[in-house]
Every structure is written in C-alpha cells, then in structure tokens.
Amino acid sequence: MTLDKVQKGQQIQIQKIADSSLRDQIIRLGIYEGAKVICAEKIGGGPVIIKNRMQEIAIGDGLAKKINIEII
Amino acid sequence: MEHKTKELNKSCHKIEFIPDIPKDAKKIVLVGNPNVGKSVFFQSLTGMYVDVSNFPGTTVDINYGKYNENYVIDTPGVYGVSSFNDEEIVARDVILNADVVINIVDALHMERDLFLTQQIIDMGKPIVIALNMMDEVRKNGIEIDIEKLSELLGVEIIPTIAIKNKGIVELKEAITRARLGNRDESLLDEMEAYRSIISQYSEALLILEDDEEILRRYNITKPVSRERIYRNRREYIDNIINRVTIETNKGISFVTRLSRYMLYPLTGIPILIAVLYLMYQFIGVFVAQTIVDITEGIIMGNFYLNFIKGIFEGFLSSDSILGTILIGEFGLLTMVPIYIIGLLLPLVIGFYFLLSIMEDTGYLPRVATLVDRSLTKIGLNGKAIIPMILGFGCVTMATITTRILGSRRERVIATALLGLTIPCSAQLGVIAGLIAPLGLKYLVLYILTITIVFVLSGTVLNRFLPGKSSSLLIDLPSLRLPKAKNIAQKTFTKAWMFLKEAAPLFMLGSFVITIMQITGLLDGVQNIFAPITEAWLKLPKEAATAFIMGIIRRDFGAAGLTSLALTPMQTIISLIVITLFVPCIAAILVIFKERSWQESIGIWLGSFIIAFLVGGILAQILL
C-alpha cells in the first residue's frame, strides 16, 4: 500500500519511493527504502507526518501516494 | 554596509563569492541544517563585525565577519551539499571554498544532521563539530556517547548550549584542531580520478554525487552514482547513531503535545486564527495606525516634507517639469522617501519581525502542514501560506517571497492571487476604517466576495496552467522559544534586503507616474474610466480618480473614496473593486522582475478585468 493510506500510530517500513528527486531529498532526512518509521499524525486527506526518532517530516498527499510502504 | 558582488563566472574555476575577503585569509565556514542555532555561533565568533553579502544570481544573502586574522562565513541552513534549491547552491559554493568547517549539529536531530556532517567529511574538509542543544537531549530522555561519536566520525566534537553561551570558548579553541574525519574509503579512488581536471579537490565528491552545475562547469558526463553514495552514507550514519545513543523515553512532553495541537485541524485552526488575530492587532492596528501616524504623518509627511520643500522651493518651482519630478505630488524626493521610510519601513519591519518569530519557534512549518490540504485545491502546497500571510503586510514583499515555492507554476498562481485578492496592511487600514461604521452585513459581503474571488481564480489557474505543482515536503523542527537577538538580526537583515530591492523600483514607478501627469496621460486615463465607473459600477464619476490613485499606492486608492458621498452599498462595491484592482506600482514592477513579461501582463490585465467584472456584477444585482 502507499503512504497516504497509513493510519496514525502505525509502524511502517518504507518499501519503494517512486520518484528519484524525492528519494534523494528525503534520504537526507532519514527516510529511505528499508527505513522503519512511525506515522505520528495523519491530517484527513492531507499530509502524513512521519517520525523517525525525534525527527518529524510532513509529506503532502501527492508525494505520499508515490511512497510504497508495509505495516510492521 | 553594502557590498557589490561580482557575477559568478562559470567559465572561470575560481569562485569569487565575497570579494572583500583577502585571498590569503583563512575562511572558517559555519555549516548546519536549518534551525540548529547557527546564527548564535556566528554572532559569538564575529561579535559586532557583521557584513551581509547578497550572493550572485540568488536572493540568498550570506553573513560574514572577521574573527582574529580569519574570516567567518555563515551559510544558509541546508540538509546536504547539492543544488536542490538556491540556498543549497549558495551553501555548496561557500563550503567548497572553506578552509575549515564548523559544523553545527542539533543533538536532538542527529539522524538528519549527521548526513550533512558525513558529506562534508567525505568532501575532505577539515572540520570540527559543535553538538548543540545538549540541554534538550537530557530533557527528552536521550543520552549520547560523545566520545564514541567523536571516535567514529574521526573529528573533535564540542557539546554546546549556544543560547546559554555554554561550550563556545571550547569551540573557539578547537577551531585550530579541526581535522579530516573518517572518510568513506570506497570513494577515494573514484574521487582521485577527477583530481587533475578540477580546481577544488572537494568538487570531486559533488561530481560523483551527480551535482549538475559542477558537472556542467567541467563538462563531465553524469556518473549516476548519487543514489548509491547517499544510500551508503545513510546506512553508515544510522549505524553510528544506533551505537552512540540510548533512549530512556520519558513519555510525551508538553512541547510534543503542543506540536500535535498545532497540526490537528480541530485544534490547529483555532490556534491559527488566534495567532492571525494577534498579528492583525500588532501590524494592522499598532504598526499601520499608531506607528505609521507618527512616521508618515508627522516625521516624514510634515517635518521632512517641509524641510525638503524649504530647500528646493527657493530656486525650483514645484510647477516646473524638474520641480514636479523632484518635489511634486509623486516626486522622487517627496513621495518616494515619505512612502518608503514613513509607511513601508515600519510595516516591513513589523512583518518580518513576526515572521522571524514564527520561523524560529518552528510554528511556520506546522501552519504549512495544517493548510496544505486546502491549498492543494488551488494548485499550491502548504508552503504558499508564507507569501500569503506576508501579503497582508506588503504585497511587494510577498511577491519576492514566492521564490520559496517549488515550481514556476506555483509561483505564478501565488503571485496572481497576491496581486488580485490580498489587500496589503496600508490598504487594510483604510478599508477597515470605511467598513467599520457600516455594520456586520457589509463586512461579511466584503470578505465573502474577496474569498470567493480568491478560491475561484485559484481553481481556474490550477485548471488551466500547464505543468504540475509540487507536493509538500517539510521538516518539522522542534518547537522552541525564539531568541531576541536572532529575531532582531533576522528582521533587520530581511527588511534591509527588501528595501534595497523595492526602493529603486518604487523610484522608477513614481517617475513614470509623474511623466504621465506632466504629459496629461493621467487625465486621459481618468476620462476613459468615467463611463465604466458611472454606467457599469453605478458610482460617481470621481470614483475613477480613486482607482487611478490605486495604481500608485493601494491605500491612496482606498483613501480617495473617503471624500466621496457614497451609500453603504456603493462604498462596499468600490472597496471590492479597489481591493481586486491592480497591485501598486512597486508590486507590479517586482512582478515584472520576478515573472516573464507575458505572465506579468496577464496578471496586471487580469486584475483590471476581474476587479471591474466582479464590481459591476455586484452593482447590477445590488444597486
């Protein structure tokens, strides 16, 4: 499934990021294929906030749809 | 102090980014992610000797100052050395020229910050690390084995709490001990291959990381190894972090809860409304009225005006051509300084002051996240809220800020919406004064109409503009209390930059208007408007003058209405037209500078047409 379908509190593993520019930018913030993160907040229909330790990132719906994940 | 910077010469391999720094002086460069407290270090290293330099080809300004015999150069906060945006390009070129790098790392966000650290180590730059915000580490129940981290990275690490001045002395001493860290050895051979063709050894790493500008500079084909290198670095850093940190997790703190409240619509929207209300009280009431009454009304409009007229009127008639240009109604020595110093300066300082506070507390990225969903419907993402908020201060300033948006398409949409629907604070003051006595019904009609135009124009532009808008991707920094010194420095740097950019354009604008006035063009335009004003908008003929004035200064336009005898409904309709009507002369010149001339003409004519169309429709229905 894609990141936009995730629910608050779920622990997820990033499977695939289908956009090379997004991939290169987001890896610097700690998000990459294989990374395990938590969905800290989900704003209905809008951005997903994912958390890796203390680091939080808001990802808009358009980008979230390009990220494949698996719930763990 | 102003420094002229040379154009970046791409064919030349040496980057002369700050001409004032002697070639033999050592360049100590401060590098860090956004919001790590870099400027505090900069201030304590350079003391008061701070200069600002605008980087060639960008709007990013860099601070630099002397430290002993050496120079300390600040860089914009970046997540890595590459060229994803203007800030990164500037930071990249400054870092490439560095002799020593002081890397400021937010101890709470090491997984984000150490990526940049390792990249600088891999570039082969001598480095010393300031591990900042150590107090927050303890508060959040995390322990860091600094000795181990230092050993793994191969460089010295100084724990600091910069805002409390802790660790600064130790850091200063450590600068001379800066050294090369543990580099990714698999890259050494590959980097070596490029050594003979480049001028800076560190550029070799950027070539391997597919940095397009550096590749172009040396005419090298893309090695396509960025992803592999980023990936290896990421894993390497994550591994280090796992080895040096222990989390004792003490549960959710108040700050974490507050952060959630700001993001969640049910609580976030009331918080945002409260913040906007406070901003309005500060800018719209305190600055735009109380302060501007003094600066524009008394100091500039009275003392200064009399002073300048007193000097010139002895030998120059204000009716002569030169007199009109210099000291006439829109004169270069009369209206221009009165407007810029009396009105714009206090407003711009006020707005950048509030924006700096919102930036430094970490609130702004949360607002962007909160409104993201709504803004995607008009082809923007949450980030566009920043120029929109600024627009209520000054549309000219906000137009410059649209540069932060991700694509040209978004910049066009945001600029058009700003020019069309957002009344600046000067205008807002006059509008509020005219609406207040009319009662709630008219206020609602005004706000509703403007909002509908905003949403409709955004939707139409989103539908018909080619291309795709970018999606939100934003780092949410920890919420923090801002530091007064930082806020003050940011505010004044930005206000100064704005004035430097807008003042010449405003002078040009007033010159053009004066010429129009002398040649009789202004009267001609007024007469052309008259039939539209009377038949279509059902307003007295004189209202046309107010619209014309609105081309020059938007609050002039609104203020021109106060002298007319209008019914309440006529007042509201003319206020709506004035609001939607073309942006002021300074804003339109900035639009022409920022956008292509086709886009600019489209925006200018569009606001003309929409203003009269909407006003006319309302007049035909309601009057």
Q: Is the pLDDT of residue B5 over 70?
A: no
Q: Give the nearest partner residue to A60 out of B230, B372, B476, using CB atoms.
A: B372
Please give the mean pLDDT across all residues of chain B.
86
Rounded to an integer, what distance in angstroms lies between the CA atom of residue B169 and that of residue B486?
20
Tell me which H or E stretch contains B550: helix B543-552
CA distances from B127 to B432, B516, B588 (A): 55, 60, 46
Q: Are residues B229 and B308 both part of a single domain?
A: no
In this structure, the answer to whether residues B175 and B270 fall within a common structural domain is no
- Residues of chain A in contact with residue B82, where contact means CB-CB under 8 angstroms, are 24
Domain that holds residue A56: 3-71
Supply the CATH number for residue A9's domain: 2.30.30.90
In this structure, the answer to whether residues B284 and B228 fall within a common structural domain is no
Residue B466 buriedness (CB in 10 A; 0-12 / 13-18 / 19+): exposed
Identity of residue B444: V
- Mutate which of A55, A59, A63, A66 to test chain B, going by most B C-beta atoms within 10 A? A55
Pairing of β B27-32 and β B70-74: parallel
Residue whose entry in the numeric block shows the structure tokens 């064919």: B11
Looking at the structure, tell me whether residues B272 and B410 fall in a common domain.
yes
| Beta bridge mates, A37 | A12
Distance, in Å, from the CA atom of B136 to the CA atom of B133, rounded to the nearest integer, reads 6
Structure tokens at B343: 């009105």
Q: Are strands B61-67 and B70-74 parallel, antiparallel or unpaired?
A: antiparallel
| Radius of gyration of chain B measured on its C-alpha atoms | 27
Are B331 and B398 members of one domain? yes
Domain count, chain B: 2
Asked if residue B357 belongs to a domain, the reply is yes
Q: Is residue B497 part of a domain?
A: yes
Query: Which residues of B make CB contacts under 8 Å with A?
Result: 79-80, 82, 84, 108-109, 111-112, 115-116, 140, 142, 226-227, 230-231, 234, 238, 241, 247, 259-260, 263-265, 365, 368-370, 372-373, 376, 381-382, 470-476, 478
Q: DSSP secondary structure string, B359-383?
A: HHHTHHHHHHHHHHHHHHTTT--GG
| Helix (H) / strand (E) containing B105 | strand B100-106
Residue A16 to chain B, least CA–CA distance (Å): 13
- Does B292 lie in the same domain as B155? no
Domain contains B514:
yes
E-only strand ranges, B107-231: 127-132, 142-144, 157-159
Instruction: Read off the CATH number of the domain in which B148 is found.
Output: 3.40.50.300
Higher pLDDT, B231 or B528: B231
Residues of chain B positioned with their CB less than 8 A from the CB of A62: 376, 381, 470-472
**Which residues are A2's β-sheet partners?**
A68
Sheet architecture: strand order including B100-106: B51-54, B61-67, B70-74, B27-32, B100-106, B127-132, B157-159
Average confidence (pLDDT) over B196-207: 88
For residue B13, pLDDT beyond 70: no
pTM: 0.81
Interface A–B counts its CB contacts (< 8 A) at: 113
pLDDT at B422: 93
**Does residue B390 have a pLDDT over 50?**
yes
- Do B405 and B537 lie in one domain? The reply is yes
Q: How far is CA B264 from CA A50, B251, B385, in A?
A: 14, 20, 17
Let me know if residue B9 belongs to a domain.
Answer: no
- Of the two residues B404 and B120, the one the predictor is more confident about is B120
Which 8-state DSSP code applies to residue B112?
Answer: H
Hey, how many other C-beta atoms are within 10 angstroms of the C-beta on A47? Answer: 32
pLDDT band at A60 (very low <50, low <70, confident <90, very high): very high
> CB distance B473–A55 less than 8 Å?
no
pLDDT band at B425 (very low <50, low <70, confident <90, very high): confident
How confident is the model over B450-471, as a mean pLDDT? Answer: 93
What is the C-alpha separation between B473 and A24, in angstroms, rounded? 12
Please give the single-letter amino acid code of residue B597: W
Mind listing the pLDDT tens digit for each residue in B151-171?
999 999 999 998 888 999 999
d(CA B151, CA B194): 29
Nearest alpha carbon to residue B96 among B105, B111, B83, B85: B83
What are the residues facing B310 on neighbouring strands? none
Interface ipTM: 0.94
Average pLDDT over residues B382-404: 88
Phi, psi angle pair for B267, to nearest 5°:
-100, -30
Instruction: Please indicate whether, in this complex, the C-beta atoms of A46 and B372 are within 8 angstroms of each other.
Output: yes
Cβ atoms < 10 Å from Cβ of B167: 19
Which position has the higher pLDDT, B252 or A31?
A31
User: Residue B150 domain-assigned?
Assistant: yes
How far B222 CA lies from chain A's nearest CA (Å)? 15
User: Among B82, B372, B475, whose Cβ lies nearest the Cβ of A47?
Assistant: B372
The answer to the question of residue B299 being in a domain is: yes
Indicate the SS3 state at residue B35.
coil
For residue B376, what are its two tokens? 């995607």
* pLDDT tens profile B267-297: 999 999 999 999 888 887 888 888 988 998 8
Confidence of residue B318 (pLDDT cuts 50, 70, 90): confident
C-alpha B238: how far from its chain's center?
A: 33
Q: How many domains does chain A have?
A: 1
pLDDT greater than 90 at residue B17: no
The A residues from 32 to 71 touching B (CB cutoff 8 Å) are 32, 41, 43-47, 49, 52-64
Residues B569 and B613 in one domain: yes
Assess if residue B516 is contained within a domain.
yes
Instruction: Give B179's DSSP letter.
Output: B
- Domain range for B573 is 266-622
Q: Distance of CA B155 to CAs B127, B149, B206, B431, Å?
A: 7, 9, 21, 60
Q: Does residue B54 surpass a pLDDT of 60?
A: no
